Amino acid sequence: MSEKIVVGVDIGGTSIKVGICNIEGALLQTYEGPTEVEKGSDIVCENIAAYARLIVDQSPYEWDQVEGVGIGIAGFLDIPRGYVHKSVNLFFENVPLKDILEAKLNKKVLVNNDANVAALGEAWAGAGRGISDCVCYTLGTGVGGGVIISGKIVEGFRGMAGELGHMTIVPDLEAIQCNCGNKGCLETVSSATGIIRMANDAVERGDRTSLSFVENITAKDVIDAAKAGDEAAARIVNRAAFYLGKSMAAVAVVLNPQRFIIGGGVSKAGEFLFEQIREVFRKTAPDMAQEGVEIVPAILGNDAGVVGAAGLIIRS
């Protein structure tokens, strides 16, 4: 077989996931092995290289067919150089990841941050397939984002494009402090953390809510309660949706993307959440910037990372 393939690597704190994609973005095979962060960055890099070779060895493909290896990693990066200034969960500091792995693998290696890479995965081979411009939100512990224009990741001057969770969106009077140091960031209301905080506040305030009887409230608890008709919970979910819709309206006048793609744990709330987001977007964005624009769920789930990492090789 002379078909070209690309390898994607999604480095997490506990495990490294590698995958093989064809050049159309179909995920053909995956493998997952321990990261071993505690052994230091040299071993983590060894592991990445080993798993990348292993998955190809175990596949019907030859190493020669590998067009390149893409890597997604959380942290503060110099993207063009593939240099990791700092990655807290990997204990990486000043690691020239691209150079190290190009030497080990003898292939072109490209590195980008995990949120950008997940967005590229969805854009290339997920909910954005066939679309040139889309913007992705990942609603997890924080709110991550990625911007894809003409099929490629927009990185920005210092790699900070797509930091949608840190759009100042909550008016000052109601704004609370974000981990980033600013107030009123989208992440303070539309992340799982934000939803949990608002729920705990409601319980503490003594609002009448079924959540009062829940220990260690999760975002899913809040969403389930809202779906079951709990008014306090519904207000919280609505607030998360409201500011998401508002932020999408702001993005719409900057970029007029064809599609907004929402993934991450909170997005599992499904149409219940999406309908509320769409309603705010429809009311807020100018007509022309919303005509034909769709707000849809991500479809690749946890595979978005490996697929998008592989996509770096095709879409750069």
For the CB of residue 311, give the shortest distance to its own copies in the complex, in Å.
Answer: 17
For the window 122-141, what string marks contact with its own copies as x by the rule CB under 8 A?
-----------x-x------
* Nearest-angstrom CA–CA distance, 233 and 222: 6
From 13, 34, 60, 156, residue interacting with its own copies (rule: CB under 8 A): 156
From 62, 160, 231, 316, residue interacting with its own copies (rule: CB under 8 A): 160
Handedness of CA 155, 160, 165, 167 (dihedral sign): negative
Q: Which of 109, 171, 178 is nearest to 142 (CA)?
A: 178
Q: Which of residues 82-111 bind its own copies (CB under 8 A)?
A: none
Determine, following the binding rule CB under 8 A, whether residue 187 of this chain makes contact with its own copies: no
On whether the CB atoms of residues 298 and 122 are closer than 8 A, the answer is yes
From 78, 256, 282, 296, residue interacting with its own copies (rule: CB under 8 A): 256
Determine, following the binding rule CB under 8 A, whether residue 115 of this chain makes contact with its own copies: no
From 246, 267, 295, 308, residue interacting with its own copies (rule: CB under 8 A): 246
For the CB of residue 58, give the shortest distance to its own copies in the complex, in Å.
Answer: 38
Determine, following the binding rule CB under 8 A, whether residue 291 of this chain makes contact with its own copies: yes
Query: Quick one: which segment of 28-36, 270-278, 287-295, 305-313 binds its own copies (CB under 8 A)?
Result: 287-295
- Nearest residue (CB) to its own copies, 167 versus 262: 167
Determine, following the binding rule CB under 8 A, whether residue 10 of this chain makes contact with its own copies: no
Determine, following the binding rule CB under 8 A, whether residue 80 of this chain makes contact with its own copies: no
Per CB under 8 A, residues contacting its own copies are 76, 133, 135, 147, 149-150, 152, 154-164, 166-168, 171, 180-182, 246, 249-258, 284, 286-289, 291-293
